[in-house]
């Protein structure tokens, strides 16, 4: 079988690339060994956010007393919540399938392997192609913690599969995005949750204040948070799983729970993707590539989580997919991938784009910052939002926006305005001079810009 392009992996990057190539007139075959939609749709972004929506609704229902509302006899049904999650995933998965059908993309179910230049093998069939885009995604990373193989120790894939796991208590090893979002889900439904994070704060790759504010919010929701906690061992006891760790002072400590979630991030899934005698060099398990996705092998491109050094975000994978197809077609790259918004769907939401204050200062850039607090925003007060902020980081000399960090209701929706502002070199004065409707959460952007002047 002959095609212009083979795409290996049907996640956001893969199916976006396949769709873009098909619309450009290329014949495309897409290989997916599991379900269309990849990690994001089936085991990550979408099911997690569906559960978080249910959790936020349940919190709002139980916290409606100050509004004069009473919900007598309110109850939650874990199985029904899981059904809602599954229906959401199924609906979107069918949408991806229809998208591929509409574009004339051939979808092949099975594990594909690049055997040689322009040759892909799958299910005993040989496919000859002009170009290949590898979009193999990632799998949960499992640090070498003794006891990680015990029953009751899970990855995020495990907790999101099928009907999930209804747990009375849960220890989460890792305070990154996966860990804090799963903490939000389980704590909302009465589970006793403890987060153990090795770094000195939650969300250690983001601005320090974001992690600090989130830790305070989670503690208010009943989540126990321990930072500088080095997990040493997991063992089975009569009282449940025991997680032993060294605390911030180096003292031995332990916490028992019904389940343990290992949330130490994800690693590139490049195993088995290439034949033994035809494979690119790897960096920390990922495939190195240039801005267009070109690898060291001819006509082989890589996008998404399998790419070395790439931020593992669905929207970045989609952008990389569009750029790879453009490069194959000999066209300019359509998307600037140097500026990638990051979002965390906790309560409150977290979002960030561009440079932080600390990052700018480390780079020797003089900055001025403006901050708006939720207590002064009418919509935040109406919604009963926890303490939060919108922070803008601007050059001190020109006022040009360099970055923004939000711990704010609907932060994940608002960050797009700020990403556009950074990309197009807008200033604090430009943002302050834009009329934002009142009362809205978006007024926090204008208020922060006005602090800079």
State the catalytic residues: 438
**DSSP one-letter code for 119:** E
What are the backbone dihedrals phi and psi of residue 8, each rounded to the nearest 5 degrees, phi first? -105, 105
DSSP string, 287-338: BP--TT-B-SSTTEEE-GGGBTT----HHHHHHHHHHHHHHHTT----S-TT
> Which are the contacts of 362, defined by CB distance < 8 A and separation ≥ 6?
none
Under a CB-based contact definition with an 8 Å cutoff, are residues 382 and 441 in contact? Answer: no
Neighbours of 94 (CB within 10 A): 12
> Which are the contacts of 67, defined by CB distance < 8 A and separation ≥ 6?
none
Q: 93 is written with which tokens?
A: 């998965």
Strands 106-109 and 28-32: parallel
Q: DSSP E strands: which ranges in 19-105? A: 28-32
Q: Where are the alpha helices (DSSP H) in 236-280?
A: none
Under a CB-based contact definition with an 8 Å cutoff, are residues 448 and 392 in contact? Answer: yes
- Rounded distance between C-alpha atoms, residue 453 and residue 435, angstroms: 16
- Rounded distance between C-alpha atoms, residue 256 and residue 254, angstroms: 7
Q: What is the dihedral of CA 245, 249, 250, 254, to 10 degrees?
A: -20
Strands 153-154 and 259-262: parallel
């Amino acid at each position: 079988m002959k095609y212009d392009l083979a795409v290996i992996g049907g996640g956001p990057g893969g199916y976006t690339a396949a769709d873009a190539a098909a619309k450009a007139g290329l014949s495309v075959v897409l290989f997916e060994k599991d379900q269309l939609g990849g990690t994001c749709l089936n085991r990550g972004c979408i099911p997690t956010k569906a559960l978080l929506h249910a959790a936020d609704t349940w919190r709002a229902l139980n916290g409606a007393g100050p509004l004069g509302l009473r919900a007598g006899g309110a109850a939650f049904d874990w199985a029904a919540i899981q059904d809602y999650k599954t229906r959401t995933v199924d609906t979107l998965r069918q949408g991806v399938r229809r998208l591929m059908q509409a574009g004339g993309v051939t979808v092949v179910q099975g594990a594909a392997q690049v055997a040689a230049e322009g040759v892909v093998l799958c299910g005993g069939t040989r496919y000859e192609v002009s170009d290949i885009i590898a979009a193999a995604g990632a799998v949960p990373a499992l640090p070498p913690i003794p006891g990680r193989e015990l029953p009751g120790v899970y990855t995020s894939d495990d907790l999101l599969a099928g009907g999930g796991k209804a747990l009375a208590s849960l220890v989460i090893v890792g305070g990154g995005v996966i860990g804090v979002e799963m903490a939000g889900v389980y704590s909302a439904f009465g589970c006793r949750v403890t987060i153990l994070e090795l770094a000195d704060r939650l969300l250690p790759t983001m601005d320090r204040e974001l992690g600090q504010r989130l830790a305070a919010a989670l503690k208010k929701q009943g989540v126990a948070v321990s930072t500088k906690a080095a997990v040493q061992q997991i063992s089975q006891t009569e009282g449940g799983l025991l997680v032993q760790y060294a605390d911030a002072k180096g003292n031995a400590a332990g916490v028992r729970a019904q389940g343990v979630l290992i949330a130490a991030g994800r690693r590139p899934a490049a195993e088995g993707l290439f034949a033994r005698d035809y494979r690119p060099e790897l960096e920390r398990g990922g495939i190195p590539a240039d801005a267009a996705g070109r690898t060291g092998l001819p006509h082989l491109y890589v996008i998404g989580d399998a790419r070395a050094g790439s931020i593992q975000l669905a929207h970045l994978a989609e952008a990389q997919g569009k750029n790879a197809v453009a490069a194959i077609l000999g066209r300019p790259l359509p998307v600037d991938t140097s500026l990638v918004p990051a979002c965390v769907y906790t309560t409150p939401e977290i979002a960030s784009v561009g440079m932080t204050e600390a990052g700018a200062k480390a780079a020797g850039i003089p900055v001025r910052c403006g901050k708006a607090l939720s207590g002064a925003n009418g919509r935040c007060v109406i919604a009963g939002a926890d303490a939060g902020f919108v922070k803008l980081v601007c050059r001190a000399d020109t006022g040009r926006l360099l970055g923004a960090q939000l711990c704010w209701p609907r932060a994940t929706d608002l960050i797009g305005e700020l990403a556009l502002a950074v990309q197009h070199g807008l200033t604090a004065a430009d943002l302050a001079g834009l009329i934002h409707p009142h009362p809205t959460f978006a007024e926090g952007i204008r208020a922060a810009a006005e602090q800079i002047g």
